[in-house]
Amino acid sequence: MHPLDGIKVLDLSRVLAGPWCTQTLADLGAEVWKIEEPTRGDDTRSWRPPEIDGESTYFMCCNRSKLSVAVDLRRPEGQKAVRELAAKADVLVENYRRGTLSRFGLDYEQLRELNPRLIYCSISGYGRTGSRADEAGYDFAIQAESGLMAITGEPDGTPMKHGVAITDIITGMNSVQSILAALIAREKTGEGQLIDASLFDSAVALLANVGSGYLQTQSPPKRYGNAHATVVPYQLFDTADGVLALAVGNDQQFRALCVQVLEDLELADDERYQKNRERVMNRETLIPHLAKHFRSRTTLDWIARLKRAGVPAGQVRSVPEVFNAPEIAERGLVSDVSDAKHGHVRLTTSPLRLMGTPVRMPEAPPRLGEHTQEVLQRELGMSDADLARLQSETQRT
């Protein structure tokens, strides 16, 4: 048994935020009908390299365990089919520009008449209300406009984006939380509802302690590179053969660092560094002193010493080193999944761990339109003639 067994999700989303959301719902056991344009499919099918045998690995990151249904929403027959699926769905997720789905008879108000229990999650760049509601949202621009880019990068360097499309991913995660809450609410009220999920909203909320610091003090935050604004020492240090990530989170850990790891009693007793506030205020003198220590031994030597002392630290790994690390297998974070074209593909698994109702083991991302016949015949009772007519209408477009 999976947590969302029996829940049906109509996925009208593309690229990353929406598909990340619906992939998580699929991991939790929902049946996800991914509606795709019949000739091109999801935009990310063409985002390559990297690729395997002409297929995008980007698409694979957020579409496992879904059913692909190729339907042309520009055509009346396609719109009719999707409306009928919406009447049977528990959840709909979409990320079209405002007004597009209303022209197809697929906006929330129109579908609520067909299915009052439908939970309709609408994902956009700037929300469905406000002066920017008609604008498209792109992760790179949102990172810039939300302040995330301004706090990322070296102090004297250029503002930097995150290494992945973080505002898309966090919006997908927020959307999942909202949908799960709406499913619980529906059990109480019997009614579905509209969810307005925004990349910009999610990104601003992601400022977390930095945002809170500004709101309370009106002091503009600085960039600290790989260091921490309010916890010291909490940054990278060069070692004799590499780089070490040190994360000293409290005063007790700092003393353990000085006494047990560095064997520097003078540093441990220095009043400038005994409390975190003082360490933050005096980082300019503390960090060079620590850097000199860390250059004297290898990374693994330091990590062994730090672990024995209970001081948090880690080695800076490359992506290949990560996926070859023993904890990947120990935690089951990668699965070899059967695939009709490739024989098998290696996919990351869901990070969610529910002991009583586990998540679904991943299934290969679908080929474009792979499940059109299966879903439309099972859910809508379409005949072969109906399917042929739907396909011929698409070909005339």
Catalytic site positions: 168
Which amino acid is located at 376 in the chain?
L
Residues 57, 279: Cα–Cα separation, whole Å: 45
What contacts 93, CB < 8 A, 6 or more positions away? 9, 10, 11, 12, 13, 18, 21, 22, 121, 123, 175, 179
Return the structure tokens found at 346.
């290696």
- Going by their DSSP bridges, the two strands 8-12 and 31-36 should be labelled as parallel
Return the structure tokens found at 291.
């850097």
Where b means 16+ CB within 10 Å and e means fewer, 289-321 reads: ebeebbeebebeebbebbeebebebeeeeeeee
What beta strand segments (E) does the chain contain? 8-12, 31-36, 51-52, 55-56, 67-70, 91-94, 119-124, 194-198, 234-238, 243-247, 313-315, 334-339, 343-348
Whether 353 contacts 330, CB under 8 Å: no
